[in-house]
Amino acid sequence: MRRAFPLLAAIVLGATAVAAQNIAPIKERKAHFDEMGDAVKPVGAMFKGEQAFELAAVQSALTVIREKTAVLPDLFPEDSKEGEETRALPAIWNDKEDFNNRFKKLADAAQAAEPAITDEASFKTAWKDLVGNCSGCHKNYRKPKE
């Protein structure tokens, strides 16, 4: 029994350490998505006519989108499929190339929108195209809220 206890303790501690490895990228990607959501939310309200158009806020949101899309693809390592509450679907790891390409497409759309959006009319057109990239990724790679 005395020999079994250290072995059992090592197994339990080892399993805990492995599980902990999953949590860091999940927490980090959640923080990035939250920041992107915070930047985009008021712009979405502008698009719906619920808030007055403000070019500076739109440009700021586009910058945040570009910054976040540059780091987010790396925050989905194989060992972060589970652990910590995550809405990431297994499809991410089943088709990582498409998943990563969607981030690139969103970044490119944000980059193209920056000089294209100069007023409310150009904003309405460019923003509609841009958010189409978001919904396509959410549909394929994110669990719906329960």
Residue 10 confidence class, pLDDT cut points 50, 70, 90: very low
Residue 46 lies in a domain: yes
Looking up residue 121, the CATH number of its domain turns out to be 1.20.120.10
Residue 130 lies in a domain: yes
Q: What is the pLDDT of residue 17?
A: 47
Using CA atoms, how far apart are residues 138 and 146, in angstroms rounded to an integer? 15
For the segment 72-112, what is each residue's pLDDT rounded down to a tens digit? 999 999 999 887 788 999 999 999 999 999 999 999 999 99
Residue 3 pLDDT greater than 70, yes or no: no
Q: What is the pLDDT of residue 21?
A: 55
Residue 19 pLDDT greater than 50, yes or no: no
Q: What is the pLDDT of residue 4?
A: 56
Residue 132 lies in a domain: yes
Residue 146 lies in a domain: no
Number of domains observed in the structure of the chain = 1
pTM, to two decimals? 0.82
Residue 84 lies in a domain: yes
User: Has 32 been labeled as part of a binding site?
Assistant: no
Residue 14 lies in a domain: no
Q: How many CB atoms lie within 10 A of CB 27?
A: 15
Residue 5 lies in a domain: no
Q: What is the pLDDT of residue 135?
A: 85
For the segment 48-77, what is each residue's pLDDT rounded down to a tens digit? 999 999 999 999 999 999 999 999 999 999
Please state, rounded to an integer, the average pLDDT across all residues of the chain.
88
Distance (Å) of CA 77 to CA 32, 50, 65, 72, 135: 15, 38, 21, 11, 22
Using CA atoms, how far apart are residues 86 and 68, in angstroms rounded to an integer? 18
Residue 7 confidence class, pLDDT cut points 50, 70, 90: very low
